[in-house]
């Protein structure tokens, strides 16, 4: 008997070593796989560059490049001071003011080559995120492009969006609670992010605009929010700070931050009502959730206030109403389970009645404001957001843009394929087995589906939610008692998601010609030749009349002043131009 103890001890040590080796190899294989998917995704996004050369796509990327050039020429620090100050001229050098044909009025800068004769202060019209990221990318990797900013910004969206492979994988990993399958779920989500048209379509070379960057930062922000909730100890402070910064930074990238901002608010409301009315602080801890949501709230609010395009008026408008209500609801939840715990029964009754009254009041206020019967600033939303929330009242200007059209079932199927079959079990199981992760997925998926049905371009935003929602069903399936049934269903989901990603992959010439084919070869050369003719064959003080679609191209490539451009900030001027083209007088 004495001789068997050392053998048993040796066997146990050997098993421990094997288990550690197995874990190390598992992590190593995951890292290598994600790296390979990043490289594959980057290659797919660079195909248009490899096939057709260096050019910016479509229209909006040109103004982003124009302002990235300003940041680089004057220094990123000085340029950002100019931007967040609302365009104060004191932060720009005289050489930049001269080179960009800027005039100074009331201490602010106005770019004279846009919106003649009104001109425009870009610091108050656009958010800085895309141009800032392009400038930073150039400062870090400009040597690879022979210090050519134009080439650097052409490649930057490919790199950042290929990194969405990692942020989507991280978000999916953080959502899944089953440690046995979470890394495989993360890998499966990464496959979709690397290949699918929903990510690739707006991140091909030259698409230097908001979507490719947002698709990286948005899932990273959500993952950090969850991380800040689950983490304990001093490390949690780090994740709270990162959550606030990354989520807040999405404000600078894309106006679609309002969807993410409001989804967080809805989650806070639903979590608070669930915890209070169902008395389930064991499912979601009120204190931890409040702190995590507060970090996100502060992050968004700070960046909104620091953005002249939004500032205070955005915080007191209807676009921020839901997050404000979410903060109030989370405070009530916190108080209900701390200082007011003995009065929980009374609080439940008050919250139940108050939630109905508040919901009806908000709906009535919104309806009256939209119809113009009783305009109230706190209920006011407009433009594309109003067109999505209330499609029946969308304006003709919003409707005139192709990507603002309604989404057909055929288009949704083309871009998602069989993914919906994997999402449905996740939604059903999220209701049966509530948790912070399931409430987050359920809320964001349902509202993302509604937003997508209202407007085509939102599908690129919804992809950030749909992919983790589809893969999350694997985590839930593995909790079934029957291991055989769980294995079969999990395999089915894997096949559905993988096949959908492959079927929606967009590569080669098809990818290169997917967006605005008139502005790529062979149409590209015609555009370039025409704009170069404009640049060299017309007087330098010439002003060009064209439909607003071509304003950025006229100024940035043709170096001539335009009457209107893609920012569409002066609808009166656009209407005047329209009358010029459509009438005889």
Residue spans per domain, the chain: 155-510, 517-582
Is the pLDDT score of 485 beyond 80? no
Q: Which two tokens stand for residue 569?
A: 């900030």
What Cα–Cα distance (Å) separates residue 286 from each residue in 122, 440, 496, 578?
42, 15, 37, 55
382: left (phi over 0), alpha (psi -120 to 50) or beta: beta
pLDDT tens digits, one per residue of 27-58? 888 889 899 999 999 998 998 888 778 888 87
Alpha-carbon gap, residue 477 to 339, rounded angstroms: 39
- What rounded mean pLDDT belongs to the chain? 85
Q: pLDDT tens digits for 186-213?
A: 988 998 888 888 888 888 899 999 999 9
In this prediction, residue 337 carries a pLDDT of: 92
Roughly how many angstroms between the first and final C-alpha of the chain, as a whole number? 109
Counting runs of H as helices and runs of E as strands, what totals does the chain give? Answer: 28, 4
Q: Residues 148, 149, 151, 154: what is their CA dihedral angle, to the nearest 10 degrees?
A: 170
**Looking only at Cα atoms, what is the longest distance across the chain?**
109
String of b and e for 34-62 (b: at least 16 CB within 10 Å)? beebbeebbebbbbbbeebeebbbbbbbb
pLDDT at 508: 42
DSSP conformational letter for 557: T
Predicted pLDDT of residue 496: 75
Res. 516: pLDDT tops 60: no
């Amino acid at each position: 008997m004495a001789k068997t103890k050392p053998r048993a001890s040796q066997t146990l040590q050997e098993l421990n070593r094997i288990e550690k080796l197995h874990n190390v190899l598992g992590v190593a294989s995951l890292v290598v796989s994600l790296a390979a998917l990043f490289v594959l995704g980057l290659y797919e996004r660079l195909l248009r560059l490899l096939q057709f050369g260096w050019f910016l796509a479509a229209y909006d990327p040109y103004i982003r490049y124009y302002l990235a050039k300003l940041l680089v020429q004057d220094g990123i620090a000085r340029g950002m001071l100019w931007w967040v100050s609302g365009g104060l001229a004191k932060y720009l050098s005289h050489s930049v003011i001269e080179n960009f044909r800027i005039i100074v009025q009331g201490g602010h800068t106005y770019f004279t080559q846009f919106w003649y004769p009104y001109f425009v202060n870009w610091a108050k019209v656009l958010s800085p995120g895309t141009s800032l990221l392009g400038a930073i990318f150039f400062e870090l990797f400009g040597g690879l492009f022979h210090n050519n900013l134009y080439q650097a910004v052409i490649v930057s969206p490919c790199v950042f969006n290929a990194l969405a492979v990692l942020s989507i994988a991280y978000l999916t990993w953080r959502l899944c609670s089953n440690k046995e399958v979470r890394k495989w779920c993360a890998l499966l989500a990464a496959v979709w992010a690397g290949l699918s048209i929903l990510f690739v379509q707006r991140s091909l070379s030259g698409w230097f605009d908001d979507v490719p960057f947002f698709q990286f930062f948005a899932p990273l922000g959500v993952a950090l929010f969850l991380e800040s909730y689950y983490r304990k100890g001093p490390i949690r402070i780090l994740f709270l700070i990162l959550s606030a910064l990354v989520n807040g930074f999405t404000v600078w990238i894309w106006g679609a931050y309002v969807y993410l901002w409001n989804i967080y608010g809805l989650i806070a409301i639903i979590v608070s009502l669930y915890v209070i009315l169902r008395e389930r602080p064991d499912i979601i801890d009120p204190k931890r959730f409040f702190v995590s949501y507060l970090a996100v709230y502060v992050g968004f609010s700070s960046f909104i206030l620091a953005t002249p395009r939004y500032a205070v008026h955005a915080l007191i408008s209807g676009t921020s109403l839901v997050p404000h209500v979410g903060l109030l609801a989370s405070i009530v939840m916190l108080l209900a389970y701390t200082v007011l715990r003995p009065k929980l029964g009374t609080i439940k009754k008050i919250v139940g009645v108050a939630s109905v009254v508040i919901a009806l009041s908000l709906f009535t206020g919104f309806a009256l404001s939209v119809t113009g019967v009783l305009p109230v600033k706190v209920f006011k939303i407009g433009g594309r957001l109003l067109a999505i929330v209330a499609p029946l009242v969308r304006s003709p200007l919003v409707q005139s843009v192709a990507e603002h059209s309604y989404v057909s079932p055929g288009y949704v199927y083309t871009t998602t394929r069989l993914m919906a079959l994997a999402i449905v079990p996740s939604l059903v199981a999220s209701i049966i087995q509530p948790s912070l992760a399931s409430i987050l997925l359920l809320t964001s998926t349902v509202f993302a589906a509604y937003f997508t049905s209202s407007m085509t371009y939102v599908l690129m935003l919804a992809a950030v939610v749909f992919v983790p929602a589809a893969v999350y069903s694997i985590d839930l399936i593995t909790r079934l008692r029957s291991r055989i049934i769980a294995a079969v269903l999990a395999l089915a989901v894997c096949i559905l998601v993988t096949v959908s990603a492959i079927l929606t992959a967009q590569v080669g010439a098809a990818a290169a010609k997917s967006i605005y084919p008139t502005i790529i070869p062979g149409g590209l050369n015609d555009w370039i030749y025409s704009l170069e003719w404009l640049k060299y064959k017309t007087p330098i003080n010439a002003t060009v009349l064209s439909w607003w679609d071509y304003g950025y191209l006229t100024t940035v490539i043709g170096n001539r002043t335009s009457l209107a451009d893609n920012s569409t900030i002066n609808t009166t001027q656009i209407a005047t131009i329209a009358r010029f083209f459509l009438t005889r007088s």
